Structure 1
């Protein structure tokens, strides 16, 4: 009886010991996973910090100088298709200037920047005034000229014999239209990505009227308006609630990119998008324009985009299936392929 009791105690001790070892291993595994997640988060934070470095001059941010190496790219960014060895020879203008849309910042182009650099091209992304990490109060940005100042300053400083390819997203289309009017000789091609490609005398806001209602109604009734100068003064900006933004802009984008957007989006200045553009046939009309349509877009519907290209015909129209209003997040490879294709057009 005594021996059996001793054996039972030994067995129990062994079981307790095994259980303790399993618990220790489990805890070590959890700590290891936590450490991995911590390191991953730290790496992402450092990467974002590198992206948001401020450069001198009026340029809020020039991401084009940040280097991306292939080994650092997520798998979904790596292209399975090898570019033909001579494709760069077909591209006369290798400098891409990426202009974000309303509420966004230069940060939204991070996948496009990586892909263009991997292809041997030279992308530069700006924070427009009051956007991204630019410190200007959004409520103080009253005109399209003020809003577009980082782009204008850059183009004004370009050497006479140098040209760029402009890429504008959403209301950033108004900025590249403005640039086409004032610097036609410095722009090789202008690419409108589900953008407000307005006609002469039209306001960028008018393009969104189907979704937001008339400008007059919006200015009086919208619950998203911001009154930076006081309730007794006209509104200065607006910003959608997070759930509305997700539904309008990011209905096909990856969850991680939506999370990034939710902490990065900023209020939209009203002045620039309510301003009528003055565009002439001699300047704006002489530019080479291309349009990229997004076919699962809830902010600027495919029908509205079709109407834009019908009323103000560009040189070429391209379409991305399954993309929301943010193709640089939802369909970066498809967007990249089209940008390269347009760049190669003689």
Structure 2
């Protein structure tokens, strides 16, 4: 894939960190990470805990911070003065929000890609609770079940073949659908833990520049709910891509152009 024209020449040491959503892994970014690196950007696409090739089972990841720790470790390892563009997809929006709260000085901008976006007024679980309360998504064949009899661990979640095909990857190729179905892992929304956390602060998370990328053909986190989150927590810029929920597989070229524009503007 050719490097996008917008990214050719002069991207310097700009660093983009791509954060996957629930049940996915760093692998989901392969169509985006490859051309970004070819264009000269530094790109990381870490596996969060119990995701991708991370060896831990979900039961060993009891909290959302534990789940996010690989991302937090990556940011902690960066030298002073080094700033990244954080991109969170779907549930990954809450991961990048936590990362920005923890390391605001290391974040040039946070990009929410058809993602859950917390505000600074309510607990981090609030947007997901509103999503469930509003019945914005038919769970179809998603399997949700407790991990332990005592209920101390968060509810596990695994997407079924039908919801993947009809709600998340409806614009993807049959090959990408097959790949995703073979690589998904049991995950969690960690709502039980997030509901106990304090809101992210205006001084830290609230101070970081934010961009929201609306995917207008998303049947998972639908367009209208994405725009409600932006109204609820205004951002510096809104961009649009005519894509389904797993935009990095269905519309990678458009997403690469979008991310290079953002990196060149904010980083």
Settle same-fold status: TM greater than 0.5: yes
Matched, 1:313 2:238: no
CA RMSD of aligned residues (A): 2.2
Greater RCO, 1 or 2 (C-alpha within 8 Å, sep 6+): 2
d(CA) in 2 for partners of 1:243, 1:292: 25
What is the TM-score of this pair, normalised by structure 2?
Answer: 0.89
Deviation at 1:205, TM superposition (A): 2.6
Does 1:245 find its partner at 2:164? Answer: yes
- Name the CA shift for 1:192/1:207 in 2 (closer, same or farther; >3 Å): farther
Q: Structure 1: how far apart are the matches of 2:7 and 2:144?
A: 49
1:227 offset after TM fit, Å?
2.6
SS of residue in 1 equivalent to 2:111:
strand
Measured against aligned partners, the alpha-carbon deviations of 1:206-247 in whole angstroms (never above 9, x if no partner) come to 25323358xxxx9xxx972223224x6466311121112221
- 1:108 partnered with 2:28: yes
Q: Is residue 2:202 matched to residue 1:281?
A: yes
- Which of 248, 261, 264 aligns to 1:328? It is 248
C-alpha separation between the residues in 2 aligned to 1:84 and 1:95?
13
1:227-242 aligned at under 5 Å gives the runs 227-230=146-149, 233=151, 236-242=155-161
Would the alpha carbon gap of residues 174 and 223 (structure 1) be closer, same or farther in structure 2, given more than 3 Å must change?
A: closer
Classify 1:298/1:273 alpha carbon distance in 2 versus 1 (closer, same or farther; 3 Å).
farther
Q: Could you state the TM-score of these two structures normalised by the residue count of structure 1?
A: 0.69
The structure number with the bigger radius of gyration is 1
In 1, are the aligned partners of 2:8 and 2:39 still within 8 Å (CA)?
no
Q: How does 1:82-231 map to 2 (within 5 A)?
A: 82-83=5-6, 86-88=9-11, 94-200=14-120, 201-203=123-125, 205-206=128-129, 208-209=131-132, 210-212=135-137, 224-230=143-149
1:298 aligns with 2:212: no
CA apart distance, 1:271: 2.4
Tell me the equivalent position of 1:31. Answer: none
Distance 1:207 1:113, change over 3 A: farther
